[in-house]
Amino acid sequence: MTPKERVIAAIEHRRPDRVPVGEMAIDFELTEQALGHPTLYRSKWKEYEALWAGQRDEIVASYGRDIVELVRHFDLDYLAIPLAPPRMDHYEAPEFVGEYMWRDASGRTWQYSPESEGHAMCVDPIDMGPEDIPMPPDPAPVDWSRLEHFEYIVKELGDTHFIMGRVTAGLFPWQETLGSLDGFLLKMYDDPAFVEKAVESQTRQAIAYAQAMIEIGCDAVSPDGDVCDNRGPTMGPALFRQYSLPSVRRLAGAIHARGGFGIMHSDGYTWPILDDLIDAGVDGWQGIQPRIGMDLRLLKEKHGDRLCFFGGVDVDTLVLGSADDVAEQVRYAVRYASQDGGLVIGCGNTVMPGISAENFAAMLGTAREIGTYPIHL
């Protein structure tokens, strides 16, 4: 089988030749170790600085080139592709208010942590009302410059590999609006008109870009919608069903209408809403964290005939565990969740800084060693 055929078989609950492998994202640290050269793809602070310095085209070129190289270097069956910064005449550096801290045009203050090397977080949010949210037309326009690297990747890999695009789903758009998680949660109770308009605005944009990705040649789209923490849905199941679930249903329907698969990304304890996601039309789910109770054996028993699982290895294990620990989690996932397809092995989150090349290799190597069908463990 080709990598594309392998992943599609897993999603459709058919036996591929072996359990597929792939990732939602690989951060710069492992990318540079693997490829032997610098990258701007998911390079965090370096990417921010490059954008402010007018190197947007270099960033987009790095996205395309390095994603293709990563797929070939690690022999992945898929790697998801993010949207790129839009083409603009000029990117102006923001107003800095401290070291690694800046204020954006809307007045929100953001801070980057070089210690964690994660995404910048809003540390000084703003307040907004419904009148402050711009509403795009329906259908929303697409800035095709944000998809330039998709055309290159599809040209290089589209015939052989499973191509997945990533869009911000808009299910819980607190970062895109206020910048405050707590503030957005309060508005879910106090200002439903604001929340409804925020979700609608982001959903229209997500649908437009998801359809554009399929038009270019993607096989699937992953709506990024982190709506859970380690305790369950951040807003609770009732508010999730009120505000977010209709957006999931519309996104899944739009993706299916163009012939693609919808692979939901959401970390955390997702048990309380998994039935809702499946009923909304989601084909697969990435973001599985076994250590907090998202056990693949139980997931397969309850949802294995309706949902394809992307994951199997905790990011904590990849960062802090040994290669043997990683291999054991792969064996558990394959033993209990690979029957009749339905499993794609990978990190349960994204491949972040701190994950060693040895542990990443152990994950991929173990999956290939034991994951050939028919599987006997």
Could you report the per-residue pLDDT of 161-207, keeping only the tens digit for each?
999 999 999 899 999 999 999 999 999 999 999 999 999 999 999 99
Question: Is the residue at 49 inside a domain?
Answer: yes
Residue (of 214, 162, 159, 226) closest to 21 by Cα position = 162
Residue-wise pLDDT tens digits, 271-326: 999 999 999 999 999 999 999 999 999 999 999 999 999 999 999 999 999 999 99
Burial 56-68 (b: 16+ CB within 10 A, else e): beebbbbbbbbbb
Whether 22 is covered by a domain: the verdict is yes
Q: How far apart are CA 161 and CA 165, in angstroms?
A: 13
* CATH number, domain with residue 224: 3.20.20.210
Residue 103 lies in a domain: no
**Residue-range definition of the domain harbouring residue 309:** 3-88+141-370
- From 205, 156, 222, select the one nearest 7 (Cα to Cα): 222
Q: Does any domain span residue 34? A: yes
Cα four-point dihedral sign 228, 234, 240, 246: negative
* 135 assigned to some structural domain: no
Cβ–Cβ contacts within 10 Å for residue 272, how many? 14
d(CA 267, CA 226) in angstroms, rounded, equals 6
Give pTM, 2 decimals. 0.96
User: What residues does 22 pair with on adjacent strands?
Assistant: 78
Average pLDDT, the chain: 96
Q: What is the count of structural domains for the chain?
A: 1
Longest CA pairwise span in the chain (Å):
59
| Pair of tokens at residue 263 | 């692979």
Within a domain: 308? yes
